[in-house]
Structure 1
Amino acid sequence: MVWKQVIDPFNSIALSVLVAAVPILFIFWALIIKKMKGYQASLIATGLAMIIAIVVYGMPVKLALLSATHGAVYGLFPICWLVLMAVFLFNVTVKSGQFEIIKFFMASITSDRRLQALLIAFSFGSFLEGTAGFGAPVAITAAMLVGLGFNPLYASGICLIANTAPVAFGSIGIPITVASQVSGIPELPISQMVGRTLPILSIMLPFYLVTIIAGFKKAQEIWPAVLVSGISFAFLQYFSSNFLGPALPDVIAGLGSIVCLMAFLRVWKPKTVWRFANEPAATFNPDISYTNGQFIRAWSPFIVLTIMVIAWGVQPIKDVLNASGMAQFEFPGLHNAIQGEDGNLLPKLFKFNYLSAAGTAIMIAGLIAIPLVGLTYREGLNVFGATLNQLKFPILTIAAVLAFAYILNDSGITLTLAEVLANTGFLFPFFAPVLGWLGVFITGSDTSANALFSKLQYATAQSIGVDPVVTVAANISGGVVGKMISPQSIAVAAAAGNLVGKESELFRFTVKHSFYMLIFICFIVLAQAYVVKWIIPVYEMLGSKKATALPDLTKGYTYLLILGVLLAVIATTIMATAKKKEPTPDLVN
């Protein structure tokens, strides 16, 4: 039996929207006003969404339950799998004592919390977003900042806000690839259009972050470093997105801004070192020194992590891993059981890509890192058990949030909300980013939001005479500022920042910044649509048929062999260095 989605169950779009918005408004109320714990708010919101889907939209109980189950399973894999492995890798570094050396290294560059935030939350987080995505950047950078001594709320909050700049090009450009596939617009013009919007935000974001942390006057004290960080990132993001495509902007911009800022800090230092109120003075002792080998060993988990996530993003390697390590099946009872408004049946497939998942890459990095940092595998197993216990409530929260998102999408509730925005006529370009923001808030993923709304963005723009690439790109750009308040992202950041049970505090910390940035992007898109049309790239639509070729697995196996040799050389070098007598640390005087 097939059930057809209903978009306007009351035959009054205004009334339908009021009811459809109830579960979303509940989350805002629960986290901002009621200050509920994340898992409680998510579970109740899921129940509310299910009741509205069944009672108002007429969704069969069986399909509603299956839809929630499908979402929860996706929440567990690959999302929770990735978060678990990311936090495990960090905990291994802490347990071994190597993170103390990393803290010393960061302090030797700068003890200033403002500059540390730019290096780790903004630049390193952007790099991780470009390679792994799906929550890993926030999980790793928030844990690192907390480990460095940051206030947990600020560490998690600024990592969520900093993650705004790179989300559009995350996971080797997957959000733009999906938008292209759904809308029919080639990847490059979408990448170019996004790359002519977000760099404006990227230039301002470092100053914005520092202002949040330390206030406007303290941000002004380090304006040279802020400019170096923001301009280098924005220029490289613009250049790579406009001339190289959507795959590498985050990797290039993230690494480039790290190099530029670190080089600049060799010749410039702030007059005063800023730290949080009531925080002890910087503990950096210039009389202490570590060898280069000790620094490399301490950073080895993150060096291996970087190599692994880059390798896992290379398509030939993905093809090999998926060929021998992926199980795909139709979700029982749900596949092709729902008919969309356009008359097409909705496929419900579950891909268990246990080898090519980013979480698996991080797991392998963790397993390699355990002996490199001086732990035994028994100790590593204990760390994993402690990490699993640490993340039990975030895992429940993420599973509930994804169940919530799937019910909203499958029942048609999301489409009801989208319908109102699509009927704003001449002003639609202004509201186009809101659609992307809404999609990412619900699903926690810019990729998912683009899959949901790119076709609607394309069709609506055509109907009002606006170039569709403007609104499709707006869906992506608006989505990035919804990421920081998505319940899924909040759960990940809370887990990494030791704020489990305090998700409401984190939500209240980020929500106003999300709205500020969303309005800013809305005005930019409105200007692109009607005032600065010359900024829109010239392009041709994709053909209706696209030739597909079987992947060349030989190339993938070759790359894996090179990866194995590279990791073996790195591991051997680090272990050989570790066997040498290394004083803990040398005292100069």
Structure 2
Amino acid sequence: MVWKQIIDPFNAIALSLLVAAIPVLFIFWALIIRKMKGYQASLIAAGLAMLIAIVVYGMPVKLALLSAAHGALYGLFPICWLVIMAVFLFNVTVKSGQFEIIKHAMGSITADRRLQALLIAFSFGSFLEGTAGFGAPVAITAAMLVGLGFSPLYASGICLIANTAPVAFGSIGIPITVASQVSGIAELPISQMVGRTLPILSVMLPFYLVTIIAGFRKAREVGPAVLVSGVSFALLQYLSSNFLGPALPDVIAGLGSIICLIVFLRFWKPKTIWRFDNEPAPTINTSIHYTSGQLIRAWSPFIVLTIVIIAWGLQPIKEVLNSVGMVQFEFPGLHQAIQGVDGSLLPKIFKVNYLSAAGTAILLAALIAIPLVGLSYREGVAVFRSTLNQLKFPILTIAAVLGFAYIVNDSGITLTLAAVLANTGFLFPFFAPVLGWLGVFITGSDTSANALFSKLQYATAQSIGVDPVVTVAANVSGGVVGKMISPQSIAVAAAAGNLVGQESQLFRFTVKHSFFMLVFICFLTLAQAYVIKWIIPVYETLDATTAVAVPDLAKGYTYLLVLTIGLVVLSVAIRTMNRKSSQTPDLVK
């Protein structure tokens, strides 16, 4: 039996909108006003969504339960799998004592909390978003900042806000690839349009972040460094997105801004070192000198992580790993049991790509790093157990959040919200980013939001005479500012920042910044649609009959062989350097 989605269950769109918005508004109320724990708010929101789906939208109870189960499973894999491995890798570094060396190294670059936030949350987080995505950047950078001595709330909140700039090009450009596939517009023009929107935000974001941390006056004190960080990032993001495509902007901009800021800090220092209130003064012992071998050993988990994550992002390697390490099946009772409003049956295929998943790449990096940092695998197992215990409530939260997301999507609740925005006529370009923002808030993924709304963005723009690439790109750009308040992202950041049970504080920390940035992108999109049309790239739509290329597995196996050789050589080199250097730091007399 097939059940058909409906958009207007009351035949009165205003009333349908009010009811459809209840689960979304509940999350805001629960976290901002009621200050509920994340898993409690998520479970109740999922229950509310299920009740509305069944009673109001007429969704069969069986389908509603199966939809929630489908979402919860997706939350466990690949999302929770990635989060667990990211925190595990960081915990290995801490357990081995190597993170103390990293803290010393960071302190030798700058002990100023404002500049540390730019280096780690903004630049390094962008690099990780470009390679891994799906929560890994926030999980790793938030844990690093907490380890450096940041307040857990500021560490997690800053990393969520900093993650705004790179999300559109995350995971080697997957969000834009999906937007292209769904809308029928080629990847490059979407990449170009996004790359003419987000760099404006990227220039301002470092100053915005520092202002949040230290206030406007203290942000001005590090204005030159902030300018170097923001301008270098934005320029590289613009150039790579407009001339290379969507795959590399985050990697290039992230690494480029790190290099530019570190070089700049060799010649310029702030007049005062800023720390948090009641935080002890910097205690970097300048008489301690670590050898190059010791520094490389301390950073080895993240060096290996970078290499493996980049390799995992290469399409030939993905194809090989999926050819031997992926299980997929039609979700029983749910596959093609729901008919969309366009008459098509919705496929519900669950894929377990256990080898090509980003979490597996991080696990491999951790397994390689364990002996490099001086731990035994028995100690590694103990660290993994403690990591699982640390993340038990975030795992429950993420599973509940994804269950909620799948119910509101499968029932048609999300389509009701989208239909209202699509009927705004001439003002639709202003509201186009809101659709992306809403999609990411619900699903936690810019990729998923683009899959949901890119076709709607395209069709609506055509109907009002606006170039569709403007609104499709706006869906991508609007989605990035929804990431910081998505319950899924909040759960990940809370887990990494030791804020489990305090998700409401984190949500209240980020929500106003999400709205500020969303309004900015809305006005910018409106201007692009009607005022500054010269900014729109010239392009052609995709040919739907284009043949799908046959995977070249030979190339993938070659890449894997090169990766293996490279990792072996790196491991041997690090162990050799470590044997030659003293196990304790040299003291400068």
TM-score (norm 2): 1.00
Q: Distance in 2 between matches of 1:500 and 1:582?
A: 39
Q: Distance in 1 between matches of 2:400 and 2:474?
A: 28
The answer to whether the aligner puts 1:511 opposite 2:511 as a matched pair is: yes
Q: Distance in 2 between matches of 1:581 and 1:322?
A: 41
| Map 1:409-558 → 2, pairs under 5 A | 409-558=409-558
Q: Which amino acid aligns with 2:6?
A: V
SS of 2:328's equivalent? Answer: strand
Q: Which amino acid aligns with 1:364?
A: L
Q: Distance in 2 between matches of 1:214 and 1:340?
A: 49
C-alpha change, 1:581 and 1:203, in structure 2 (3 Å) is closer
Q: What is the CA distance between 1:583 and its match in structure 2?
A: 4.7
| Map 1:93-492 → 2, pairs under 5 A | 93-492=93-492
Residue 6 of structure 2: aligned partner: 6
Q: Distance in 2 between matches of 1:125 and 1:230?
A: 14
Q: Which amino acid aligns with 1:296?
A: I
Q: Which amino acid aligns with 2:381?
A: L
SS of 2:351's equivalent? Answer: strand
Q: Which amino acid aligns with 1:514?
A: S
Q: Distance in 2 between matches of 1:586 and 1:540?
A: 62
Q: Which amino acid aligns with 1:42?
A: S
Q: Which amino acid aligns with 2:25?
A: L
Q: Which amino acid aligns with 1:175?
A: P
Q: Which amino acid aligns with 2:295?
A: F
SS of 1:542's equivalent? Answer: coil
Q: What is the CA distance between 1:549 and its match in structure 2?
A: 2.4
Residue 561 of structure 1: aligned partner: 561
Q: Distance in 1 between matches of 2:486 and 2:328?
A: 28
SS of 2:350's equivalent? Answer: strand
SS of 2:346's equivalent? Answer: coil
Q: Which amino acid aligns with 1:109?
A: I
Q: CA RMSD in A?
A: 0.5
Q: Distance in 2 between matches of 1:568 and 1:202?
A: 37
SS of 1:266's equivalent? Answer: helix
Q: What is the CA distance between 1:588 and its match in structure 2?
A: 1.2
Q: Distance in 1 between matches of 2:169 and 2:588?
A: 46
Residue 75 of structure 2: aligned partner: 75
Q: Which amino acid aligns with 1:125?
A: G
Unaligned runs of 5+ in 1: none
Q: What is the CA distance between 1:578 and its match in structure 2?
A: 2.2
Q: Distance in 1 between matches of 2:332 and 2:576?
A: 52
Q: What is the CA distance between 1:267 and its match in structure 2?
A: 0.4
Q: What is the CA distance between 1:581 and its match in structure 2?
A: 4.8
Q: Which amino acid aligns with 1:114?
A: R
Q: Distance in 1 between matches of 2:583 and 2:307?
A: 29
Q: Distance in 1 between matches of 2:13 and 2:100?
A: 58
Q: What is the CA distance between 1:576 and its match in structure 2?
A: 1.6
Deviations 1:353-405 (A, max 9, x none): 00000000000000000000000000000000000000000000000000000
Q: Distance in 1 between matches of 2:540 and 2:446?
A: 24
SS of 2:267's equivalent? Answer: coil
Q: Distance in 2 between matches of 1:234 and 1:207?
A: 13
The number of residue pairs the alignment matches comes to 589
Q: Distance in 2 between matches of 1:248 and 1:492?
A: 24
Q: Which amino acid aligns with 1:542?
A: L
Q: Distance in 2 between matches of 1:374 and 1:77?
A: 30
Q: Distance in 2 between matches of 1:339 and 1:314?
A: 35
Q: Distance in 2 between matches of 1:581 and 1:200?
A: 46
Percent of residue pairs bearing the same amino acid type: 84
Q: What is the CA distance between 1:26 and its match in structure 2?
A: 0.3
SS of 2:354's equivalent? Answer: coil
Q: What is the CA distance between 1:575 and its match in structure 2?
A: 1.2
Q: What is the CA distance between 1:580 and its match in structure 2?
A: 3.0
Deviations 1:295-332 (A, max 9, x none): 00000000000000000000000010000000111100
TM-score (norm 1): 1.00
Q: What is the CA distance between 1:579 and its match in structure 2?
A: 2.3
SS of 2:11's equivalent? Answer: coil
Q: Which amino acid aligns with 1:254?
A: G
SS of 2:335's equivalent? Answer: coil
Unaligned runs of 5+ in 2: none
Deviations 1:14-45 (A, max 9, x none): 00000000000000000000000000000000
Q: Distance in 1 between matches of 2:272 and 2:540?
A: 54
Q: What is the CA distance between 1:422 and its match in structure 2?
A: 0.2
Q: Distance in 2 between matches of 1:81 and 1:583?
A: 34
Q: Which amino acid aligns with 2:223?
A: W
